[in-house]
Structure 1
Amino acid sequence: MDVSTFCALFAATCFTLVGLWWNVVQGHDDWMRRRARAASSAASTSPSCCRR
């Protein structure tokens, strides 16, 4: 297998896996809400000198 064939196969595999992952993430809206809620609670518990 030469380098160009390897790169083409690797790129196609990565593209497919990212597409599958994106479909799974889109199906779970609660994952995104939970992460945003955790980020906002972390910001509210930081010291006032660190807030912008």
Structure 2
Amino acid sequence: MHNLIGSAETARLLKCSRATVQRRALNGDLDVAYRGPGKTGAYLFDRTGVEALAKVSA
């Protein structure tokens, strides 16, 4: 089972804003594990992948 986290936690781990997280997700620079239905559906990210990206970016 995936350990999914939202945009706010992803932003905290990557030390950026939620807007940057969403922009990176839309551009394909950040893998989205799940996107909720509808125009404003929530983005969920795999914690392991985000933590790995944070280490590389540090």
Alignment TM-score, normalising by the size of structure 2 = 0.29
Which structure has the higher relative contact order (CA within 8 Å, separation 6+)?
A: 2
| Structure that is richer in strand per residue | 2
Alignment TM-score, normalising by the size of structure 1 = 0.31
Mark the structure with the bigger radius of gyration: 1
